[in-house]
Structure 1
Amino acid sequence: MNPYGIDFGTTNSVLAEWTGRRVDVLPIDNPPGAWTQMGFDKVMPSVLGILPDGGTRFGWAAKRLTEGKLEAVKRLFATDDSVEVGGRRVDVEEAAALLFGHIRSASPGVDVRRAVVTIPANSRGRARLRTKLCAGLAGIEVQALLNEPTAAAMAYSVDATRDQNVLVFDWGGGTLDVTVLETIEGVFIERASKGIPRSGGIDLDEAFGRAILDALPSRPSWSPAQQAQFRLEVERAKILLSSQDEVNLALPGDVFFPATRELFVKAIAPYLDEARRPIEQCLADLSITPGSIDQLVMVGGSSKIPAARAMVSEVLHREPAGGCDPMTAVAQGAAIASAILLGQLDKDFFVATEHALGTVVHNDRDRPEFSVLIPRNHQLPAKATDGYRPAVQGQEAVRVKVIEGDPTKPVDHEDNVILREWTVPVDPDLPPDQNAFTITYEYNVDGILHINVVGVRSGQVMLDDDVSWGVTKDKTKLVELAKRVSTTIESGSVGAGSPVRSSAHVSDPEVAALTARARTKVMPFVGDEEAKRLEAICVDLEHAEGAGLAECKEALSGALRQYAYLLV
């Protein structure tokens, strides 16, 4: 079995294979002719579609659907547990696993059973765990999770004969990552990394689309199908404007709009300005100047934008390197990493943390603080232990909160994320010093965290668990989910196990907010019976009409009041 690499992207996915002498990018979709000419012949849109009869569609067949499709599932890894697709409530893990399952066998004569899978360097531990899990649910053994910039550097520099510092600017469909790596005698070592988790082609398309609508004489009233076609035209125009100064963008009703590069650049200017900061931060972290960078590598579809290339070149005082397709380089690097892990290439690589990892402590009673166990830019795998104690005597328990982010900012800052928290019991009759405990974080090479809490005085293991989320917390549910994914992949249809829901009130913001809070913030953390009760109330609300709607809203609101502590 040849080594494979999978770039599971926010907007597009790519499969590559190491043949023993080179990397081949394998076709896994059939794009429309116009998109083939724009370089999309080797990529598959990361889109899942579910038809009214339960039939599944992937890639371009799903992207061109007017409704019943899920795009950018990877953005949901950090937050949501489930999503509605085609009138069916689908676990996020299930949706991603179905996409992985399609990638696995979409190329003729290829069945990928083992691969290196790439992830954004700025991915949180939760997203890393779910990526590995979803590939596994689809029957793919993940040899390693590899940061996308590192994969890109390996694709560009695998044949390099001299040691060098490489800066990778990876701006794809959903995220921006900047990583500085050092290559020493065939070994790729991450030195610093910084990124923006929600900055990419999706956001640029949205900004460009708003600018076009603002330039029209009046605000159009389009059907859902026309709106979907407009979004596709905006994306196509964005791509063409990398090589043209103006594009005639087709609007519904046989009308054309002259979309210019000038308008596009003006629309995305805030994103371009923001994209400078990760570059400057990486240089500052390493205390180096742009002159210390030997090679600039730009990958991801958004990095092909001339204004982006000019901005990065201006900051670093050098032009981007050539040699690989920015759209496929990440998957190619992943295939090279797979070959290294299988002993088919005499190279090596090491990755580092993009975020600091620690726990929330209260050194005084009022202000929570970020206690760092594993700092940013620390090489993986990593293991660290620190000691803690209850704040006051009389406590019956302490909350252990795993936090990931930037310790220089307040705990509640948007850059900081509580990955998971547990309640650990302590003896209320003992003084705090005698209730002391140690917390050990063990971060593996994939950036997935295991936590161990041990009482200092007793030596008792108080907690020993992985940081997981959603269905990953219940292994029995994972087994059921794997069976469902396998059945769907084999049959090409989502079975009766995925309940159909009315979407009559999905557009009602209050209904959507209430059901989302119940399903993502409460149901994953309560017992099965209580979760079933809450789910039944959610379903009643989604089916309610007329006078019964207000009654069902109040019923769900009332049921959630006792869990106010989970809703903060």
Structure 2
Amino acid sequence: MNPFGIDFGTTNSVLAQWNGRSVDVLPIDAPPQDWADMGFDKVMPSVLGIEPSGETRFGWLGKKMGSGKLEAVKRLFATEEFVEIGGHTASVEEAAALLFGHIRGASPGITVDRAVVTIPANSRGLARFRTKLCAGLAGIEVQALLNEPTAAAMAYSVDATRDQNVLVFDWGGGTLDVTVLETIEGVFIERASKGIPRSGGIDLDVAFGQAVMDALPVRPSWSPVQEAQFRLEVERAKILLSTQDEVNMKLPDGRYLPVTRAMFVKAISTHLDEVRRPIEQCLADLSISPASIDQLVMVGGSSKIPAARTMVSEMLGREPAGGCDPMTAVAQGAAIASAILMGQLDKDFFVATEHALGTVVHDDHQRAHFSVLIPRNHQLPAKATDTYHPAAQGQKEVRIRVIEGDPEKGVDHDDNVILREWDISVDPDRGITENAFTITYEYNVDGILHIVVTDIRTGTVLLRDDVSWGVTKDRSKLVELAKRVSVTIDTGAVNGATPRQVASHAADPEVAALTTRARSKVIPFVDDDEAARIEAICADLESATGAGADECKEALSSALRPYAYLLV
């Protein structure tokens, strides 16, 4: 099986594959020629559109829609449960899973069943959990969630022959990540990371678009379609101004407005100023000077802005490294990581936490405090256990809260987020110390935080769960959701709209019997990852032809064999 890497970006997504010697970036969309000429030929806009008929549109087809589309779903992972798209209500997980499902089969002749998926280094635990879940719902086994700056460093430095410190400045469409890594004998180790969750091309487009509107003599009244066209032209002008001093920007009414690089830089000056802070914080965390950085790697579309490149270069006293496309480097590094995990490349990598993880405790005066279990910049995988007890005698319940952020700031500070909480029962007749329990956090390279709470006196496990959100709180819904995603991808429409023509052999009695047994007797009763895997095999079988159908039949039979006891 070929190793794949997926950069599931806020604004654009990229698919790459390790070919045994190097990395190929695979085409997954067909951009307009003027955008292809600007370097967008190997990226797909992370956009899902739904027509009034229910038909789905992905990538450029969705981006060019005037309405009925969802952009930047990745920004919703930490905050939202449901979203409206073209008059259809969908969970955030379903929307993201549809994008993953499209990526899975978007490159001709290739189906991605397993991949390393990248995620911003500053992502919270909920975002990491939901990223992995959504890929799984689409039939993609996630080998690991890899921080985007680490992936970028691997793309640029995989052939490095000497040990070095690498600072990665990753400024994409939605986030800014700054990470310092050390490479030692082919091993990539994260040492420090800081970021800004909402700073990227989307925010720059808003600022620049406002500056363009302010430059017009009269504020225009445009239709939703014209507004969408205007936003696209703002983005296009922004990109062109990285190589040109002036651009004639086309307005929806057919007029042209000259915009300059100086005008753009002024419009985004606030955003440019704030990107200094993560760089300074990373250096301070490691107590090193800019001179200690051996290589500067700048990736992400926003890192192409000349003013940003100049500012970062001057801060660190060195020019950015070359050799990779900043737009595709993250996916390329993810493919390299996949090759490492599959034993096809003799390298290694380690990632670290950007935020501290702990729980909320109270002192004798009932003031809340951040009790750290796994500190910031701790290498993963990590496992930590600490002992706690009820705050008062006679309690019947104890609330366990998972908090992520900065323990030096108050529990209620905006930088500190309660990821999830549970109420567990304790014996009110036992003393405070007799009710003591341990909390164990386990945070693996897959980016998922697992929690176990154990009663010390009895050894009883009071809680065993992981950090989840939205529809994932009810695991019984996941199998149904995976089925719906698969059907939507196969038919090209949501809610049972008119389907595409599928392979004629789908009516084959043997195929029908196999898929019916899988969906009625196995999928509803297995865990979510296994359900997604088996459903993906069913979908492959229903769309396969010729020898491929025979292979899919055997694959499904093999997948069902361990569950023979359910098939009686």
Aligned to 1:329: 329
Aligned to 1:504: none
| AA in 2 matched with 1:48 | L
Aligned 8 A contact 1:114 1:141 in 2: yes
Distance 2:267 2:205 in 1: 9
Distance 2:49 2:56 in 1: 6
Question: Could you tell me the TM-score, scaled by structure 1's length?
Answer: 0.86
Distance 2:264 2:368 in 1: 43
Residue 150 of structure 2 is aligned to residue 176 of structure 1: no
Residue 361 of structure 2 is aligned to residue 361 of structure 1: yes
Aligned to 1:111: 111
Aligned to 1:490: 490
Aligned to 1:452: 452
1:242-275 deviations in Å (ceiling 9; x for gaps): 0111111111222211111111111111111110
| AA in 1 matched with 2:123 | S
| AA in 2 matched with 1:448 | I
| AA in 2 matched with 1:270 | T
| AA in 1 matched with 2:375 | P
Superposed, 1:510-521 pairs within 5 Å as: none
**Other structure's SS at 2:102 match:** helix
Moved over 6 A (4+): none
Distance 2:286 2:59 in 1: 40
When the two chains are superposed, the root-mean-square deviation of aligned CA atoms in Å is 1.1
Residue 376 of structure 2 is aligned to residue 383 of structure 1: no
By how many angstroms is 1:429 displaced? Answer: 2.8
Aligned to 1:260: 260
Residue 466 of structure 2 is aligned to residue 466 of structure 1: yes
Aligned to 1:28: 28
| AA in 2 matched with 1:248 | N
Superposed, 1:214-229 pairs within 5 Å as: 214-229=214-229
Aligned to 1:501: none
Aligned to 1:14: 14
Aligned to 2:294: 294
**Other structure's SS at 1:487 match:** helix
Superposed, 1:69-148 pairs within 5 Å as: 69-148=69-148
Aligned to 1:210: 210
Aligned to 2:420: 420
1:133-158 deviations in Å (ceiling 9; x for gaps): 11111111111111100000000000
Aligned 8 A contact 1:166 1:182 in 2: yes
Aligned 8 A contact 1:365 1:391 in 2: no
**Other structure's SS at 1:421 match:** strand
Aligned to 1:352: 352
**Other structure's SS at 2:179 match:** strand
Superposed, 1:260-279 pairs within 5 Å as: 260-279=260-279
**Other structure's SS at 1:222 match:** coil
Aligned to 2:67: 67
Aligned to 2:521: none
Distance 2:28 2:458 in 1: 56
1:51-89 deviations in Å (ceiling 9; x for gaps): 111100100000000111000001111111110001010
Aligned 8 A contact 1:26 1:42 in 2: yes
Number of aligned residues:
497
1:297-334 deviations in Å (ceiling 9; x for gaps): 00000000011111111111111000000000000000
| AA in 2 matched with 1:477 | K
Distance 1:374 1:422 in 2: 19
| AA in 1 matched with 2:210 | R
Which shifted more, 391-400 or 82-91?
391-400
| AA in 1 matched with 2:165 | N
Distance 2:386 2:232 in 1: 51
**Other structure's SS at 2:54 match:** coil
Residue 164 of structure 2 is aligned to residue 156 of structure 1: no
1:152-174 deviations in Å (ceiling 9; x for gaps): 00000001110100000000000
By how many angstroms is 1:365 displaced? Answer: 3.3
By how many angstroms is 1:496 displaced? Answer: 4.2
1:466-492 deviations in Å (ceiling 9; x for gaps): 111111122220000000011111111
Aligned to 2:404: 404
Aligned 8 A contact 1:394 1:430 in 2: yes
1:109-146 deviations in Å (ceiling 9; x for gaps): 11111111101011111111111111111111111111
By how many angstroms is 1:366 displaced? Answer: 4.0
Aligned to 1:44: 44
| AA in 1 matched with 2:17 | E
Residue 2 of structure 2 is aligned to residue 2 of structure 1: yes
1:525-561 deviations in Å (ceiling 9; x for gaps): xxxxxxxxxxxxxxxxxxxxxxxxxxxxxxxxxxxxx
Identity of aligned residues (%): 80
Aligned 8 A contact 1:353 1:447 in 2: no
1:23-52 deviations in Å (ceiling 9; x for gaps): 110110000011011000000000001111
**Other structure's SS at 2:275 match:** helix
Structure 1 pair 203–364 and aligned structure 2 pair: CA distance change class (3 A): farther
1:426-478 deviations in Å (ceiling 9; x for gaps): 22233322222111101111221111111222222111111111111222200
Which shifted more, 200-209 or 257-266?
257-266
Distance 2:448 2:105 in 1: 27
By how many angstroms is 1:368 displaced? Answer: 1.3
**Other structure's SS at 2:173 match:** coil
Aligned to 1:284: 284
**Other structure's SS at 1:194 match:** strand
Aligned 8 A contact 2:357 2:375 in 1: yes
| AA in 2 matched with 1:216 | L
Aligned 8 A contact 2:135 2:141 in 1: yes
1:502-546 deviations in Å (ceiling 9; x for gaps): xxxxxxxxxxxxxxxxxxxxxxxxxxxxxxxxxxxxxxxxxxxxx
Aligned 8 A contact 2:249 2:259 in 1: yes
Which shifted more, 258-267 or 328-337?
258-267
Distance 2:5 2:292 in 1: 30
Distance 1:299 1:424 in 2: 45
Residue 430 of structure 2 is aligned to residue 430 of structure 1: yes
Aligned 8 A contact 1:45 1:63 in 2: yes
Distance 1:425 1:157 in 2: 51
Distance 1:109 1:425 in 2: 54
Distance 1:95 1:71 in 2: 10
Distance 1:193 1:454 in 2: 32
Distance 1:332 1:466 in 2: 30
Aligned 8 A contact 2:144 2:447 in 1: no
